[in-house]
Amino acid sequence: MTDHSPLNPDYKTDVARSFAKQGMMQTLNADLTEVAAGSVTITAPIGPQTSQQDGFAHAGLLWTIGDSAAGYATLSLMGAEERVLTVEMKINLLSPAVGDRITAVGRVIRFGRNLCTSAAEIYTHGPNGKKHVATMIGTTTRLRPDG
Amino acid sequence: MTDHSPLNPDYKTDVARSFAKQGMMQTLNADLTEVAAGSVTITAPIGPQTSQQDGFAHAGLLWTIGDSAAGYATLSLMGAEERVLTVEMKINLLSPAVGDRITAVGRVIRFGRNLCTSAAEIYTHGPNGKKHVATMIGTTTRLRPDG
Amino acid sequence: MTDHSPLNPDYKTDVARSFAKQGMMQTLNADLTEVAAGSVTITAPIGPQTSQQDGFAHAGLLWTIGDSAAGYATLSLMGAEERVLTVEMKINLLSPAVGDRITAVGRVIRFGRNLCTSAAEIYTHGPNGKKHVATMIGTTTRLRPDG
Amino acid sequence: MTDHSPLNPDYKTDVARSFAKQGMMQTLNADLTEVAAGSVTITAPIGPQTSQQDGFAHAGLLWTIGDSAAGYATLSLMGAEERVLTVEMKINLLSPAVGDRITAVGRVIRFGRNLCTSAAEIYTHGPNGKKHVATMIGTTTRLRPDG
């Protein structure tokens, strides 16, 4: 985990503002649950509207929420004028995603000048408790206004 | 590309039936455009409801549609009683996804007894034509009723 | 991290015996430094014989040592008659690998009936101390004699 | 596949010169077999010195040769003063690597201003002919002298 301080003192507000602009998060009924420097948690319900063919949550729900969590974890450390873009991201699925909702906890592994490495852990929550169902890791890039 | 023949003569009908059960595909307004043995194409519109914060399509739209295309390409070769599950899947993003809609063309690279390798190419379509915006590759597993 | 107990009481001896059979480990002058249930550490020197063009350790040194560490971490939990095979493995490079030697610490994230998820962290060691230079994650499969 | 022209008219000589500096390629007895704009082939023998525990080629041989092939495919398109560095690279193994030698054919998928996407296909060659045993894809970055 990185120990960088955030470059933008208003990072909590700015991450929340950016999150509100992601139409995809609204379509998935996702909530921005927690924003810390280098770590962001997003929650989304599991239901028929995000299922795959066997009734589990579609892996795309996990990947999408995890990608946003990892990306916003990176954005939380960046300057106010910068934007974040995913370069590549891989998910390893550990268990079928069954339950009431998922949480994705994104964190920054390396905060570089241009390239960053971020990860996300995905958990399901339901009657049987909390379960680690997927792990993601990928590369993001920092885009500056003059870049 | 694999040269296996499909084990299930009704694979086109069965892939379509399975696709219709994916609530996530309906939420994303996705259509099953083409089903061949070992190759499946899915189309989905780009719009505000699937955007990221800068107005591009969220990478999660690309990953989700591509994962279904790669998974159904694998299912098209499998026995009628089998199910497919994604083990891991990575996306490399080549360009921001701008346009009217995306198509994801999934294909099977290796069709193994238990483990398969599948890929998907994602294209945007719009006023400026067709553009290759992402490439995906991953592992799927074949689940049998007695498995 | 998994909390499974090893199925093979002689796992330390068996991992060491298997390691001794990897010609690649000898070519890279690698040592099996530590074997615990679900976690294995391998060390290898950095030098001209494993360099890339700019004098850093070739990423292939890191990947190869990390793959063996992740694979043996998985093997440490498996039955005495089983073999381990890597299905896929990705490395994210965090920093150029400069120093005297690397250590790769492999660990099991999920120990499944057939498929396992393993990871490895790669560190350099040298005059400037220890540095985290790469992180790996991938899928391995358990092969049984009758499989 | 990219259709960019190489920025460096001496790219064939410069790729060969850089390859000759990779100590790792000499340790693995690898040869630079073919250099074209955006595509590079490297060959290496399979033998006891690069084996894993069951006598197959260690996946690390495939990854290392494939990483160099993908990296040099990218370098072939770059300016004379630039250097290439792997950011991340994933391998999917399709079949155990058995035979006399491997070839890795690297190619550029996207040649960006700073970030590139490259791939490599790995084949074995032996008494039973040529076989596709692995596929790799990853991100490389272009480093400029003033960068």
Write the secondary structure of chain D as one string of H (helix), E (strand) and C (coil). CCCCCCCCCCHHHHHHHHHHHCHHHHHCCCEEEEEECCEEEEEEECCHHHECCCCCECHHHHHHHHHHHHHHHHHCCCCCCCEEEEEEEEEEECCCCCCCEEEEEEEEEEECCCEEEEEEEEEEEECCEEEEEEEEEEEEEEECCCC
Provide the domain count of chain B: 1
Q: Which residues of B touch D95 (CB under 8 A)?
A: 110
Q: How confident is the model at residue C147 (pLDDT cuts 50, 70, 90)?
A: low
- For residues B22 and B27, what is the distance between their CA atoms, to the nearest angstrom? 9
Task: Work out the pLDDT band at B39, boundaries 50, 70, 90.
Answer: very high
What is the b/e burial string over B2-35, where b = at least 16 CB atoms within 10 angstroms of the residue's CB? beeebebeebbebbeebbeebbbbebbebebeeb
The reported pLDDT for the residue numbered B3 is 64
CA dihedral (B18, B24, B30, B34) positive or negative: negative
Distances (CA, A) of B2 to B6, B37, B115, D94: 11, 9, 13, 12
- List the beta strands (DSSP E) in C37-112: 39-45, 83-93, 101-111
Question: Quick one: three-class SS letters along chain B?
Answer: CCCCCCCCCCHHHHHHHHHHHCHHHHHCCCEEEEEECCEEEEEEECCHHHECCCCCECHHHHHHHHHHHHHHHHHCCCCCCCEEEEEEEEEEECCCCCCCEEEEEEEEEEECCCEEEEEEEEEEEECCEEEEEEEEEEEEEEECCCC
Set of chain C residues whose Cβ sits within 8 Å of the Cβ of A137: 90, 92, 135, 137
Q: Among B136, B141, B142, B144, which would you mutate to test the C interface (most chain C Cβ atoms within 10 Å of its Cβ)?
A: B141
**What is the residue-averaged pLDDT of chain C?**
95
Residues of A in contact with C109 (CB under 8 A): 92, 94, 135
| Domain-located, residue A2 | no
Q: What tokens were used for D5?
A: 């022209």
pLDDT digits (tens, 9 = 90+) for A18-30: 999 999 999 999 9
pLDDT by residue (tens digit) across A59-104? 999 999 999 999 999 999 999 999 999 999 999 999 999 999 999 9
Q: How far is A84 from chain B (nearest CA, A)?
A: 10
Whole-angstrom Cα distance, residue A42 to residue B62?
Answer: 20
Tokens read off for D147: 């960068």
Question: In this predicted structure, what is the pLDDT of residue C3?
Answer: 64
If residue C65 lies in a helix (H) or strand (E), which one and from where to where? helix C59-75
Tens-place pLDDT, residues C113-131: 999 999 999 999 999 899 9
Q: What share of chain A has pLDDT > 70, as a percent?
A: 97
Contacts of C87 in chain B (CB under 8 A): 87, 115, 139
Q: Which domain holds residue B48?
A: 11-143
Amino acid at C10: D
Q: Distance (Å, rounded) from C-alpha D70 to C-alpha D118?
A: 6
Question: What pLDDT does residue D21 have?
Answer: 95
Banded pLDDT at B64 (limits 50, 70, 90): very high
If chain D, 147 residues long, is cut into consecutive pieces of 10 residues, what is the mean pLDDT of each piece? 80 97 97 98 97 92 98 98 97 97 98 97 96 98 86
From the list D23, D48, D52, the residue facing C48 with the nearest CB is D23
Mutation to test the C interface, candidates A92, A109, A116, A133, most C Cβ within 10 Å: A92
The pair of structure tokens assigned to D33 is: 């077999």
> What is the average pLDDT across A108-137?
97
- Residue A78 to residue D41: CA distance in whole angstroms: 40
**Strand, helix or coil for residue A23:** helix
Asked if residues C73 and C42 have their Cβ atoms less than 8 Å apart, the reply is: no
Per CB-CB distance under 8 Å, the chain B contacts of A63 are: 60, 63-64, 67, 89
Indicate whether B41 pLDDT > 70: yes
Query: Quick check: is A5 in a domain?
Result: no
Determine, for residues B141 and C115 on separate chains, whether the beta-carbon distance falls below 8 Å.
Answer: yes
pLDDT higher than threshold 80 for residue A1: no
Indicate the average pLDDT of chain A: 95
* Contacting residues for A72 by C-beta, under 8 A, at least 6 apart: A15, A18, A19, A32, A35, A40, A42, A84, A106
The model's pLDDT over C17-63, given as tens digits with 9 standing for 90+, comes to 999 999 999 999 999 999 999 999 999 999 999 998 888 999 999 99
Tokens of A77: 């450390």
- Axis-axis angle for helices A11-21, A59-75 (nearest 10): 150
pLDDT at C103 over 80: yes
CB contact under 8 A, C139 and B87: yes
For residues C77-82, average pLDDT = 97
Cβ atoms B76, B36 nearer than 8 A? yes
The answer to whether position B22 is within a domain reads yes
Beta bridge partners of B116: B111, B140
Domain presence at residue C1? no
* Residue C84 to residue C80: CA distance in whole angstroms: 11
Q: Which chain D residue is nearest to residue C51, measuring alpha carbons? A: D23
How many Å lie between the alpha carbon of D13 and the closest alpha carbon of chain C? Answer: 14
Average pLDDT for A111-115: 97
ipTM: 0.96
* Residue C2 maps to a domain: no
* Closest to A104 (Cα-Cα) out of A33, A14, A36: A33
Q: How many angstroms separate the CA of residue C18 from the nearest CA in chain B? A: 25
Residue B147 confidence (pLDDT): 55
CATH number of the domain bearing residue B84: 3.10.129.10
d(CA B108, CA B124): 21
pTM of the model: 0.97
Of the two residues A4 and B26, the one the predictor is more confident about is B26
Spell D28-40 as b/e; 16+ CB within 10 A means b: bebebeebebbbb
- With CB atoms and an 8 Å threshold, state whether D95 touches B117: no
- Whether D4 maps to a domain, the answer reads no
Question: Is-contact D16 D35, C-beta < 8 A?
Answer: yes
Cβ contacts of B7 within 8 Å, gap of 6 or more: B77, B78, B79, B80
B100 φ/ψ angles, rounded to the nearest 5 degrees: -90, -35
Taking CA atoms, C91 is separated from A106, B26, D116, in Å, by 18, 35, 16
| C-beta atoms of B90 and C87 within 8 A | no
B-chain CB neighbours of D90 within 8 Å are 90, 137
- Residue A147 reports pLDDT greater than 70: no
